[in-house]
Amino acid sequence: MASASAVVVTLLCGCAFLLLLLCSSNNGSYAYAYINNNGGQLPHDALQVLTTSLLRGPPWHCSPSNPQGNQYYEGSSTMKVVHRHGPCSKLSTTTQNMTDIHTGPTRRLTHQHILSLDQSRVDSIQSRLRLHSNPNPDAADLPAKSGLSIGSANYIITLGLGTPKRDLSLLFDTGTDLTWTQCKPCIKRCYVQKEPIFNPSLSKTYKNVSCSSPQCSQLTSATGNSLDCSSATCVYGIQYGGQSFSIGYFAEETMSLTPTDVFPNFLFGCGQDNEGLFKGAAGLLGLGRGQLSLVSQTASKYGKYFSYCLPSISSSTGHLTLGKGSTPENLEFTPFATNPREMDSFYFVDIIKIRVGGVTLSISQTVFKSSRTIIDSGTIITRLPPVAYTALRATFRKQMKKYPLTYRLSILDTCYDLSGYTRVFIPRISIFFRGDVEVAIDLSGIIYGVDASQVCLAFAGNSDASDVGIIGNAQQQTLEVVYDVAGGKLGFAMGGCS
- What is Dmax (Cα atoms) for the chain? 73
Q: Is the distance from CB of 477 to CB of 444 less than 8 angstroms? A: yes
Which one of the listed residues 173, 261, 350, 484 is annotated catalytic? 173
The answer to whether 382 touches 373, Cβ cutoff 8 Å, is no
The CA distance from 490 to 485, in Å, is 8
Catalytically annotated residue among 118, 350, 376, 442: 376
For residue 155, what are the CA distances in angstroms to 12, 237, 288, 308? 3, 22, 14, 11
407: burial class by Cβ within 10 Å (0-12, 13-18, 19+)? exposed
The 3-state DSSP class for residue 28 equals coil
Cβ atoms < 10 Å from Cβ of 154: 29
- Report CA-CA distances (Å) from 38 to 31, 163, 443: 22, 62, 21
- Could you tell me if 261 and 301 are in contact, meaning their C-beta atoms sit under 8 angstroms apart? yes
Reply yes or no on whether 173 is catalytic.
Answer: yes
- Cβ-contact 11, 157 below 8 angstroms: yes
Report how far apart the first and last C-alpha atoms of the chain are (Å, whole number).
32
d(CA 77, CA 303): 12
φ and ψ at residue 120, rounded to 5 degrees: -60, -45
DSSP 247: E
* Known active-site residue 138: no
Which residues participate in catalysis according to the annotation? 173, 376
